């Protein structure tokens, strides 16, 4: 009877083969998992030198009028994502934003982590905020930006079910940080903007009104055209790549 002799070399070779197979399987699972992941629109692929400026309004209101004045001075249209509870507190500001020609979009009704809600609760958040905005502006929002940038497949699917586009940002000004300065905000935005970028600011951020004029002038001098997010994005016949860039289908 023959005996099977397993040497140390053979054992190590077998272990290496097992590890390689495990890594290959894990890699395949990862690829499939990533391909199934749904993403919001972070930016847009475009040959035009266009950029969209956006603001999130969830808490304070002390500088909204100042932001409107600055945007008017530089003739820049902006997209404001507002929370329904903010609309309740500051309806006149919502009206002023709309009357000034800016777009008012949905940032949820109560600013929750959407991924922690049921699909019905998410829809309630979306529709409640939409109704409040429409009651003041006469326009139904087409875009939703999830609070905290928090989303998963269910969030993206629910937004689409509501007939809207889920939108994030590709350039974060970080104007909300305690150590933010007008200079750091300006430098961060102007260095990161590319054609098709969506820039995130916040109203009630301490140094944004100070930084904004320099940013707008700098980008204008570089030849950028400012557009609404709704004019930047594609409404149909597009894909969203692994980085959240919306790309038109050929």
Q: Which residue among the candidates 56, 63, 107, 111 is catalytic per the annotation?
A: 56
Q: Given its phi and psi angles, is residue 148 left (phi above 0), alpha (psi -120 to 50 degrees) or beta?
A: left
Report d(CA 13, CA 38) in Å as an integer.
40
Q: Taking CA 140 as the corner, what is the angle to CA 138 and CA 200, rounded to the nearest 5 degrees? A: 110
Does residue 36 carry a catalytic annotation? no
What does each C-alpha distance from 150 to 77, 91, 154 come to in angstroms?
A: 26, 26, 11
Report d(CA 190, CA 203) in Å as an integer.
19
Burial class (CB in 10 A: 0-12, 13-18, 19+), 96: middle
- What DSSP state is assigned to residue 222? T
CB 149 within 8 A of CB 100: no
Q: Which residue among the candidates 102, 202, 207, 231 is catalytic per the annotation?
A: 202
- What DSSP state is assigned to residue 226? E
Does residue 107 carry a catalytic annotation? no
Report d(CA 210, CA 18) in Å as an integer.
60
Tokens of 111: 């600013």
What crossing angle do the helices spanning 153-161 and 119-137 adopt, rounded to 10°?
Answer: 40
The residues annotated with a catalytic role in the active site are 56, 202
């Amino acid at each position: 009877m023959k005996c099977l002799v397993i040497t140390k070399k053979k054992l190590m070779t077998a272990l290496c083969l097992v590890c390689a197979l495990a890594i290959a399987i894990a890699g395949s699972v990862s690829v499939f998992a990533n391909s199934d992941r749904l993403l919001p629109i972070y930016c847009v692929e475009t040959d035009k030198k266009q950029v969209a400026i956006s603001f999130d309004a969830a808490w304070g209101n002390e500088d909204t009028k100042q932001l409107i004045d600055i945007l008017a001075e530089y003739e820049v249209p902006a997209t404001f994502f507002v929370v329904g509870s903010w609309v309740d507190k500051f309806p006149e500001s919502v009206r002023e934003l709309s009357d000034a020609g800016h777009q008012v979009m949905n940032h949820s009704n109560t600013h929750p982590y959407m991924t922690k809600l049921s699909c019905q609760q998410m829809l309630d958040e979306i529709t409640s905020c939409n109704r409040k905005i429409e009651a003041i502006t006469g326009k139904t929002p087409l875009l939703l930006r999830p609070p905290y940038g928090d989303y998963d497949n269910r969030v993206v699917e629910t937004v689409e079910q509501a007939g809207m586009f889920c939108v994030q940002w590709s350039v974060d000004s970080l104007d909300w940080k305690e150590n933010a300065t007008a200079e750091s905000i300006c430098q961060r935005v102007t260095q990161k903007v590319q054609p098709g970028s969506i820039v995130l600011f916040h109203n009630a951020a301490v140094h944004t009104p100070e930084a904004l004029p320099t940013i707008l002038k700098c980008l204008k001098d570089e030849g950028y055209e400012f557009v609404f997010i709704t004019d930047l994005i594609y409404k149909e016949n597009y894909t969203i790549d692994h980085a959240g860039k919306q790309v038109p289908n050929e």
